[in-house]
Amino acid sequence: MAPELDEWFYKFQPFKWRGKRYEFGLSHALFSSDRIDDGSKALLGVLDERIEAGSDQEVFDRVYDIGCGNGVLGICAAGGLSAGELHLEDRDALAVALAVRNAERNALPCRVLPHAQPTGVGEGFESDLIVCNLPAKAGEAVHDHMVDHALAHLAPSGRLLIVVVNPIADRLAAHLESRSARFEQRTFSGHTVFAVEHTPTLGDVLSQAQDVYRRGERRTLEYRGITYEFTPALGLAEYDGPSYTTAMLTRLAIEYCADRRVVLYEPGGGHLPLILSRLSEKKRPRSFLLACRNTLAGYALETLNDVSGVPHTSEICARPLGIGNFVESGSLVVLPVVPEPHTPFFEELVEVAEAVSRNGGTLILAGASATISRLEKYRLPLRIVRRAKSRGVRGLVLTHA
């Protein structure tokens, strides 16, 4: 039986805000995996104080949680303020799925708003209250972009509440001042919370997303005699070149991809499809389907890089289980094996293998040697036809029996 979404939760934690009790599923696959984080508690505390003090008397009927993670900010704010609408957004599709599940667990209707960019509020949406636990490592350009989009989509009486770790608080304050935003800030032991008012003149200064996510200039790289151009993206690893795991997947995929549909789960920086698309016409894939849990990966390949010569599409795929929906007859499925603890990653991988077997396809896996050894103890409905090992990484090629 296929694993349920709830199996991605590690544990369930009770939480109380403004007289209401909540229960949140926490996952090792997401930020704040063991408890509700201090930054979220600080933001909700400031919001509660402002409401009690009469600083915010307006009705917050439309709540939006940017970078929602497990959804604690949006769910508490919408539930505690009896909001009519809750919108959840995160570039991690699994985070959105688990946040929606948490909203359901707390009997709170919500929706996921389609948006054109991997972070930031969707075009045309106006919110009364936007909350955000700003990811510290996203980079200054992304921070500015997220804040600008939030401010530009506040209702005239709206509020934006942001919590950041203290080392980046001065930088964020300077950016808000550069936008002529009116704000108050509260500093705690590890975090600073900003309460920002609607800024009506901000619409003309929104950044272009392509420039925001670019990490340096385009560079020329080489892998086993194959030359390709690559532009790194903020928020994605492998900015200097393919990781050992990606290199192993690429090495094996080159031997099996000719004239086949390649389904790639979590393309990361995009090195594998870029390299395979530079093969000779007889050796390259017929098409790519990029199944992205991290929606930024698909966005980076669409806007910053060029998978020329091979038709390709991107699909949001929150968890490995979803790959089975994209496997067609004879497909080559390629994915890194990087399981989070206390999640059903391996069990879902068995389901993927079954889909590959039913469709007469081939499965290529790679990961740390210990991880692949553990995987081989599962009874996969495929036959191992190739093993490879390099630099602590092992790769497997499996085909239908």
| 10-residue averages of pLDDT along the chain (401 residues) | 92 95 96 92 95 73 92 95 90 93 91 60 76 90 88 88 97 94 95 91 54 88 96 91 97 97 96 96 96 90 88 93 95 96 96 96 98 93 96 96 68
Task: Count how many domains the chain has.
Answer: 2
SS3 string, the chain, reads CCCCHHHHCCEEEEEEECCEEEEEEECCCCCCCCCCCHHHHHHHHHHHHHHHHCCCCCCCCEEEEECCCCCHHHHHHHHHCCCCEEEEECCEHHHHHHHHHHHHHCCCCCEECCCCCCCCCCCCCCEEEEEEECCHHHCHHHHHHHHHHHHHCEEEEEEEEEEEEHHHHHHHHHHHHHCCCCEEEEECCCEEEEEEECCCCHHHHCCCHHHHHECCCCEEEEECCEEEEECCECCCCCCCCCCHHHHHHHHHHHHHCCCCEEEEECCCCCHHHHHHCCCCCCCCCCEEEEEECEHHHHHHHHHCCCCCCCCEEEEECCCHHHHHHHCCCCCEEEEECCCCCCCCHHHHHHHHHHHHHHCCCEEEEEEEHHHHHHHCCCCCCCEEEEEEEECCEEEEEEECC
Domain boundary among 210, 238, 262: 210
Q: Is the domain of 221 the same as that of 137?
A: no
Please state, in angstroms and rounded to a whole number, the distance separating the CA atoms of residues 176 and 148: 9
Report residue 238 as tokens.
């492998």
Q: Is the domain of 95 the same as that of 206?
A: yes
pTM: 0.93
Q: Is the domain of 287 the same as that of 258?
A: yes
Q: Is the domain of 30 the same as that of 136?
A: yes
Q: Is the domain of 359 the same as that of 371?
A: yes
Give pLDDT, residue 137.
Answer: 85
Q: What is the CATH number of the domain that holds 388?
A: 3.40.50.150
Q: Is the domain of 298 the same as that of 186?
A: no
Give pLDDT, residue 206.
Answer: 56
Report residue 185 as tokens.
């800030």
**Nearest Cα to 286, choosing from 263, 253, 267, 260?**
260
Give pLDDT, residue 120.
Answer: 53
Please state, in angstroms and rounded to a whole number, the distance separating the CA atoms of residues 81 and 79: 6
Compute how many other C-beta atoms are within 10 angstroms of the C-beta atom of residue 292.
25
29 backbone dihedrals φ, ψ, rounded to 5°: -85, -5
Q: Is the domain of 108 the same as that of 198?
A: yes
Q: Is the domain of 44 the same as that of 140?
A: yes
Cα-trace Rg, the chain: 22
Q: Is the domain of 301 the same as that of 272?
A: yes
Q: Is the domain of 189 the same as that of 110?
A: yes
Can you give the residue range of the structural domain that contains 239? 214-399
